[in-house]
C-alpha cells in the first residue's frame, strides 16, 4: 500500500486518491483512473487491494499455471529462487540471476529495505488491515507486522 500510495502521488495525472498520508490513502474511496481496474465501486483502497489479490489467488485464476504469487519482500530475500520460479511460465530458465541495483528498472526506487511500511502506519491502521484484509494476508503468508 505504501508503494502504491507513493506511485499515485508522483503521477502528473489523477490516477487515484492523492492523500497527504498513507493512512488516509488506506481509507480513501478509489477514484479517477484507478476505477478502470474495478468490477464494482470499493469502499476504500484497502478493500480494492483485497478484491484484486483475492481475485488472483483464489478460484479459477489461481489454478492457472501462468499466475504466480510473489510477495513484495520475496525478491529481496530470495531473488535467485524467485526468478527461477518463473521458468515454467516462460518455458526457459532465467538468463541472468544477478539481482539488479536499487535504481535499475524501477519507476520510483525505495530504500531497498523490506518492512519500511511500518514507518507509515499506527495502531489504528494495523487494526484496519486486520479487519479488512487480515484473512487474505494470513492465507497468503504475511505476518501481522
Give the pLDDT confidence score for residue 127 in this predicted structure: 96
Give the number of other Cβ atoms within 10 Å of residue 64's Cβ: 10
Q: Is the pLDDT of residue 145 over 50?
A: no
User: What tens digit of pLDDT does each residue of 111-142 get?
Assistant: 666 666 778 899 999 999 999 999 999 998 88
Sign of CA dihedral 3, 78, 141, 86: positive
Q: How confident is the model at residue 106 (pLDDT cuts 50, 70, 90)?
A: low
Q: Among 5, 25, 144, 137, which Cα is nearest to 71's?
A: 137
Look up the pTM and report it.
0.82
Average pLDDT over residues 23-47: 95
d(CA 13, CA 47): 23
Q: Determine the straight-line distance between the first and last CA of the chain, rounded to whole angstroms.
A: 14
Amino acid at each position: 500500500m505504501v508503494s502504491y500510495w507513493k506511485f499515485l502521488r508522483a503521477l502528473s495525472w489523477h490516477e487515484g486518491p492523492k492523500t497527504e498520508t498513507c493512512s488516509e490513502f488506506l481509507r480513501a474511496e478509489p477514484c479517477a483512473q484507478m476505477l478502470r481496474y474495478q468490477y464494482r465501486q470499493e469502499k476504500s483502497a484497502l478493500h480494492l487491494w483485497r478484491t484484486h489479490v483475492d481475485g488472483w489467488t483464489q478460484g479459477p485464476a489461481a489454478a492457472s499455471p501462468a499466475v504466480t504469487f510473489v510477495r513484495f519482500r520475496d525478491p529481496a530475500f530470495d531473488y535467485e529462487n524467485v526468478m527461477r520460479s518463473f521458468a515454467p511460465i516462460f518455458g526457459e530458465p532465467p538468463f541472468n540471476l544477478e539481482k539488479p541495483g536499487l535504481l535499475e528498472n524501477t519507476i520510483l526506487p525505495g530504500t531497498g529495505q523490506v518492512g519500511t511500511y511500518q514507518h507509515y502506519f499506527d495502531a489504528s491502521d494495523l487494526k484496519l488491515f486486520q479487519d479488512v484484509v487480515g484473512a487474505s494476508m494470513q492465507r497468503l503468508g504475511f505476518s501481522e507486522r
